[in-house]
Amino acid sequence: MTNSLTHFIEERMMIDFTTLRFALLADTFHCPVKGDFEFNVDFLILVNHQGDIADTVKADDTHHADMVVALREAGKLEVLPKGQYLMPGLVDLHCHAPQWPQAGKGLDLPLFDWLQNYTFPLENRYADNAFAANIYQDVSRTLLANGTTSAVYFASIHRESTEVLAQSCLELGQRAFVGKVNMDNQEQCPDFYRENSVEQALYETELFVNNVRGLAGNEGGLVKPVITPRFVPSCTDPMLKGLGELVQKYDLHMQTHCSESDWARDYSIERYGMSDIAIYAEAGLLNNKSVLAHSIFIDEKDIAMLNQLGAGIGHCPLSNMYFANAAMQTRELLDANVRVGLGSDIAGAPSPSIFRACFDAVTHSRVREDGVDCHLPADQRGVSGSRISYLESFWMATNGGGQVLNEKIGVFASDYHFDAIVVSPDSERGNLRVWPEMDSPRDILEKIISLSQTDNISKVWVQGKQVR
Ligand code: GUN
Ligand code: FE
């Protein structure tokens, strides 16, 4: 009976059950379309042995009921209890892993002082691999506990301990994009924390790329190397050019800071007479999987260049409120179809939660829309029509982040990697409450974004493997 039913379903669905690792039946949120969401009750997700989604079946599909029975009888079905919600894992496009011990310190300083007094002395301690190992494991574990299944990490200038970070992510099962930081400009980098020479830095960076790709257990590419010039002021021309050549040679991801503040923008104009995006493009650093953190002061020419090259932005809304000197034009970027995702910018903002970044992105846009100076008339105070919605912020945190990285993550669809979290509202722990008779699916999603804490994130899968 079991075998014949399974066989019958397999034939009708053209799916061989032996290729499946498991199937999940769950009430599911995701955002296939920017600005919109889907809530699918009893959504069936089939995950193959590689950890990718083999198929999805909605409850109103004619095969759904038979599939559920056959999968259960085949011992492959996991059912999520009602009142718990499955969602795509969150994507953090910008996190400084070595700055984790600094989270919450000195955020009332200007960027330059904060970097010189707090960040560079701390990052320099990662010359010590043992010091690094402890902290790097904690960062990756903490981000996973917050539902971040994919993280894009700046490390420090040290190749060896950056490899420790890559190894740690691999062992904990986090999808990670890890970069050895490059900074060699004597005029901007302290003597105690900069590259010895461009040649040495490029040699170490290329070695890092090959070592990460060759890590045992990384054959599927769960952890990827990222070319990481810190930002324009910290790099000489030969450094930017050399890193651009590596991006091209190996078709690599690239991450950097872009037009983050008045100071950073003015520095580039003074040194090159060009915007950061033009500088990075000319150095060959930009491609369809580049992550430009912040990108506050960018104009229409920059936006056209981003779209032409397929490069994306990591929006870090809380960090911007401390360091950017202006609000992010998120509304315009979304409308111009620029690829945009969200970043924590640890420790330029203290929270490791991308739900928090979603919430902050909405808040940021609301303050921008209304403006800040109470002495101005209302119609001159802000930028009218510039708010973004919670749905758009959640799209950025999942689907948008996946698009920036050019990875099949962020939605539940065939061929995408199964990276997912379960959110459990719970009156015993945390602040998230759902009252089913009062809360629509959209209300529930907005509450999850606004109120979820680590206690509410009860399961995490990356590449089909449960990692928490
Ligand atoms: N610009 C250059 N380095 C940094 C950094 O570590 N954090 C932030 N927020 N901005 C930077
Ligand atoms: Fe940053």
The H-or-E segment that residue 21 falls in is strand 20-30
Ligand 2 center from residue 294 Cα (angstroms): 8
* 344 Cβ inside 6 Å of ligand 1: no
- pLDDT value at position 428? 87
**360 in ligand 1 pocket by Cβ < 6 Å?**
no
The predicted-structure confidence for 116-158, as pLDDT tens digits, reads as follows 999 999 999 999 999 999 999 999 999 999 999 999 999 999 9
Q: Is 224 in the pocket of ligand 1 (CB under 6 A)?
A: no
Joined together, the tokens standing for residue 43 give: 């959504």
Ligand 1, from 231, 265, 296: best to mutate by most atoms within 8 Å of Cβ?
231
pLDDT of residue 27: 98
294 lines ligand 1 (CB under 6 A): no
How do beta strands 53-57 and 38-48 pair? antiparallel
Under a CB-based contact definition with an 8 Å cutoff, are residues 107 and 357 in contact? no
Cα of 374 vs centre of ligand 2, distance in Å, is: 31
pLDDT tens, 190-245? 999 999 999 999 999 999 999 999 999 999 999 999 999 999 999 999 999 999 99
The residue whose CA has the least distance to atom 9 of ligand 1 is 348
Of how many residues is the chain composed?
468
Distance 348 CA to ligand 1 centre (A): 7
Question: In the structure encoding, which two tokens stand for residue 33, read together?
Answer: 């379309």
Burial class (CB in 10 A: 0-12, 13-18, 19+), 187: exposed
Ligand 1 in contact with 115 (CB < 6 A)? yes
- CA 80/CA 57 separation, integer angstroms: 15
Provide the total of helices (H) and of strands (E) in the chain, helices listed first: 18, 17
CB 345 near ligand 1, within 6 Å: yes
Q: What is the mean pLDDT of the chain?
A: 97
Q: How far is the CA of 115 from the centre of ligand 1 (A)?
A: 7
**Closest ligand 1 atom, residue 264 Cα:** 1
Query: Which one of 114, 116, 257 would you pick to mutate in the ligand 1 pocket, going by the greatest count of ligand atoms within 8 A of its CB?
Result: 257
Task: Determine if the pTM surpasses 0.95.
Answer: yes
How far apart (Å, rounded) are the C-alpha atoms in residues 185 and 94? 22
Q: Is the CB of 153 under 6 A from ligand 1?
A: no
**Which ligand ends up closest to the CA of 324?**
1
Cis peptide bond prior to 155, omega within 30° of 0: no
CA nearest ligand 1 atom 8, residue = 348
Which segments in the chain show pLDDT lower than 70?
A: 1-3
Beta-carbon contacts of residue 461 (< 8 Å; ≥ 6 apart): 89, 149, 418, 419, 420, 421, 467
Q: Which residues contact 150 (CB under 8 A, 6 or more apart)?
A: 89, 90, 91, 92, 174, 175, 176, 177, 401, 402, 405, 407, 409, 419, 462
Whether residue 394 has its Cβ less than 6 Å from ligand 1: no
Determine how many CB atoms are found less than 10 A away from the CB of residue 3: 10
Q: How far is the CA of 346 from the centre of ligand 1 (A)?
A: 9
**Candidate of 111, 280, 297 to mutate for ligand 1, largest count of ligand atoms within 8 Å of Cβ:** 111
Q: What is the pLDDT of residue 2?
A: 53
